[in-house]
Amino acid sequence: MNCLGIESTSHTFSVSIVTSKGNILSLQSSQYQTKTGGIVPIESAKHHREIRNRLLEEALKEAKLEIKNIDLISIATGPGLAPCLITGLELAKELNKKYNIPVIGVNHLISHLEIGKLLTKAKNPVYILATGANTQIISLEGNKYRILGECLTIGLGNALDKFGRELNLGFPAGPKIEELAKKGKYIELPYVVKAMDVEFSGIITKAIQLYKQGKSKEDLSYSLQETLFSMLVEVSERALAFTHKNELLLIGGVAANKRLSEMFEIMCKERNCKFKVVPIKYSGDQAAQIAWLGILQQKNKLKDASSLDFNPNWRIDDIKVDWI
C-alpha cells in the first residue's frame, strides 16, 4: 500500500509517499523562512498555497508513481496554525473528490513520535518531543500517550526563535544559535523546573535584557542552550525514574541540535539507558511522518473527506492508541 502524506501545520509544506512496510519512497518539502521576525501565519499559508501542487508533482515523480497508484492520503489536521492547516486540508479534499482516494486525518505530534520509532527501532521509550511550539515528556501508558511533563508557556524551539528575533536572526533561529553558542562562555541565567514541567519564557526575557545591556550574542546563545537544555534533561531523567523505562527517544525540530543530544547521551549513559535520536532529515516537520502515521491508523480512513475538519489545539492525550 502507498500512502501519500501531506504536512502543512506550521512553517513547512511537505508531501511524501511511504509504503505500508515503512519504506519512504519520496519526500519533498519547502520551508517558509524569514530574514527577520518570526512566522506570520497568513504569509506561511500563502507560501504553502503557492508551492503545494509543485511539491505533489515532485513527490510522485521521485517515487516513480502516478496518482492512481496512491491508496491512501494522510493529512495532519492539528495541532498547528489554522491558516496553514487549511492549505493541506484543501489539497487532501481536492484529491479525495477528484480521484476517490480515501483520506485520514492524523495528529501531527504523534507523527513525530511514530517516525522516531520507525527510524531508530526504539521499542517503548520515554519520548522527549522538542519542537517549535511544543516541548513534552511523553510515555505510552495503557492505551494513551501520556504527557508527564511539558513547557508551561512557550516551546523550546519557539523560545530559541524568540531570542533569535531580538538578534535579527530570522526564522528558524535555532540552528544559528547553535553556531553562535560554539564561541560562547557561560553567564548565569534563571533555571525554572516545576516537578516535570519546564518554563522557558522568563529566561528568554532575562537573556534579551542582558543582550540589551551589552552581553555578547555568543555568550548568551551558549548560556541559553546550557540552561534550557539542562532543564529538559533534568525532567527527562525524572520521567525515566518514574516510569522505570530504560530507553529515551529525542524527536522534533530541536532534536537536530548536537549539544542537546550530547547532554542527553551523558545522562542516559550514567543511568544505563539507551539513547536514540531521530535522524536530522526527519527531526523537523515533514510529510513522511504524516504518511507513516496514516498507515498505522488506516482503519479510521474516510471515503468521503468533505466533513473532515482541523483542530489547532489537538492534544495527544485525546487519542486512543490502538495501533501498537
3-state secondary structure of 273: coil
173 phi and psi angles, rounded to 5 deg: -90, -20
Strand partners, 264: none
Considering the complex, state which of residue 59 and residue 256 has its C-beta at the smaller distance from ligand AMP. 256
Given the rule CB under 6 A, which of 15-23, 195-203, 249-257, 295-303 is the region that contacts ligand AMP?
249-257
The residue among 101 and 220 lying less far from ligand AMP, judged by its C-beta, is 220
CA distances from 239 to 35, 60, 130, 229, 246 (A): 38, 42, 15, 15, 10
> Quick one: 74 or 289, whose CB is closer to ligand AMP?
289
**Could you tell which of Mg ion, ligand AMP, none binds residue 172, using a CB distance below 5 to 8 A set by kind?**
ligand AMP
Decide: is 114 part of the binding site for Mg ion (CB under 5 A).
Answer: no
157 binds ligand AMP (CB under 6 A): yes
Choice between 22 and 175, CB closer to ligand AMP: 175
Query: Is 158 an interacting residue with respect to Mg ion (CB under 5 A)?
Result: no
Residues 6+ apart with CB under 8 A from 44: 10, 11, 32, 81, 83, 84
As a whole number of Å, the CA-based R_g of the chain is 20
Residue nearest Mg ion (C-beta atom): 131
Element holding 58 (H helix, E strand): helix 41-63
As a three-state string, the secondary structure of 147-158 is EEEEECCCCHHH
Residues 131-150 that bind ligand AMP (CB under 6 A): 131-132
- 131 near Mg ion (CB under 5 A): yes
Give the β-pairing of 135-141 and 126-130. antiparallel
- Closest CB to ligand AMP among residues 41, 175: 175
CB of residue 241 to Mg ion, shortest distance in Å: 27
> Of 175 and 312, which has the nearer Cβ to ligand AMP?
175
x/- map, 159-178, ligand AMP, by CB under 6 A: -xx----------xxxx--x
Give the x/- contact pattern for Mg ion in 222-251, rule: CB under 5 A.
------------------------------
Q: What is the total residue count of the chain?
A: 324
- Which x/- pattern, by CB under 6 A, does the window 23-42 give for ligand AMP? --------------------
Kindly tell me which of 96 and 200 has the beta carbon lying closer to ligand AMP. 200
- Whose CA is closest to 156, among 35, 273, 237, 257? 257
Render the burial of 137-163: b for 16+ CB within 10 Å, e for the rest.
bbbbeeeebebbbbbeebbbbbbbbbb
Query: Is 151 a residue that touches ligand AMP (CB under 6 A)?
Result: no
Q: Which does 96 bind (CB under 5 to 8 A by kind): ligand AMP, Mg ion, none?
A: none
Is residue 178 at the binding interface for Mg ion, with CB under 5 A as the rule? no
Residue 202: CB atoms within 10 Å = 12
Residues 283-302 that bind Mg ion (CB under 5 A): 285
Beta strand extents in 46-170 (DSSP E only):
72-78, 103-107, 126-130, 135-141, 144-150
Judged by the rule CB under 6 A, the positions of this chain that interact with ligand AMP are: 10, 131-132, 157-158, 160-161, 172-175, 178, 252-254, 256-257, 284-285
